[in-house]
Amino acid sequence: MVDAFIILRIHFRNVSKDTILINTITIESGFSQNYFIQLIKKSNKITLRLYPTTDPKTKHQILKRSFGISKPK
């Protein structure tokens, strides 16, 4: 069994409330990553992406889980 943790905290919301940065920390098997997930609202769509300046070079499975696009093992 692998211990994995995801910590999410809203870090920034602009005045027009169309951009939100979420400070994300993932920890899996003793390896931790700290990055921002950016939500951008345009019309009736929301874009979810890794904030470019904090985009981790190594994309572990837990990073995908933090986006909600991967099931736990």
Query: Is residue 71 one of the residues assigned to a domain?
Result: no
Query: Is residue 72 one of the residues assigned to a domain?
Result: no
| Domain tally, the chain | 1
Question: Around Cβ 17, how many Cβ atoms within 10 Å?
Answer: 8
Residue 2: its pLDDT value, please? Answer: 58
Task: Assess whether pLDDT exceeds 60 at residue 1.
Answer: no
Query: Is residue 56 one of the residues assigned to a domain?
Result: yes
Query: Is residue 47 one of the residues assigned to a domain?
Result: yes
Query: Is residue 34 one of the residues assigned to a domain?
Result: yes
Residue 70: its pLDDT value, please? Answer: 60
- Give CA–CA dist 38/25, Å, rounded: 14
Query: Is residue 73 one of the residues assigned to a domain?
Result: no
**What digits encode the pLDDT tens for the residues 10-56?**
877 778 888 888 899 888 888 888 999 898 999 899 899 999 898 88
Q: Residue 16 sits in which domain range?
A: 4-66
Query: Is residue 32 one of the residues assigned to a domain?
Result: yes
pTM value > 0.85: no
Sheet holding 45-50, edge to edge: 4-13, 19-28, 31-42, 45-50
Residue 45: its pLDDT value, please? Answer: 93
Residue 63: its pLDDT value, please? Answer: 83
